[in-house]
Amino acid sequence: MAVFTRLAEPVVFGDYLIGFAAAFIVFGGLFQWLMHAHFGVFKPDHAARLAGALLVTLGAAGALGLLGLGVAMAAGRLGGLEALGLALLVLGFVIHVGAVEVGRAHLLVNEVTAAGLLRGVLMLAMGTLALLVAQSAPLLLAAVGLAQALAAWPVLGG
């Protein structure tokens, strides 16, 4: 965060913070509780069935989130780039947190640790690159979201 405050113009950083907060609220309200509820009933002998049900449920929540973005755009509250940045950030949250929860359930200590470390490094690197390319809050939101999704690779690819 400290790096972003130095690289971003005040209005860009302010818009990024508002977008990040909004994305995190949407993530918590639509997705995070579903993942936690899923892992509260996780049993290894039913893993495939539970994972399938979780994916379907997350997909339905994602459709609801996209509908909300569409309504906000139609009402003139969000532009297309802002909506895209928010959607990519929420998607990054879902992919990273979901992968880490799966990794924890399967006791993949090394992979979960690597995903956590990679998340910090990639968010910093990709966020910095985004701000060097353009002073744009939607671009920064998208870069941070993409970084989170890519950081899940040690768990998802392992």
Count of H helices and E strands in the chain? 8, 0
pLDDT confidence tier of residue 1, bands split at 50, 70 and 90: low
Q: What is the pLDDT of residues 85-126, one digit of tens each?
A: 999 999 999 999 988 888 887 788 999 999 999 999 999 999
Q: What is the pLDDT of residues 42-68, one digit of tens each?
A: 777 777 777 778 778 888 888 999 999
pTM of the predicted model, to two decimals? Answer: 0.90
Q: Check: CB of residue 89 under 8 Å from CB of residue 149.
A: no
Q: Check: CB of residue 90 under 8 Å from CB of residue 145.
A: yes
Domain ranges of the chain: 2-156
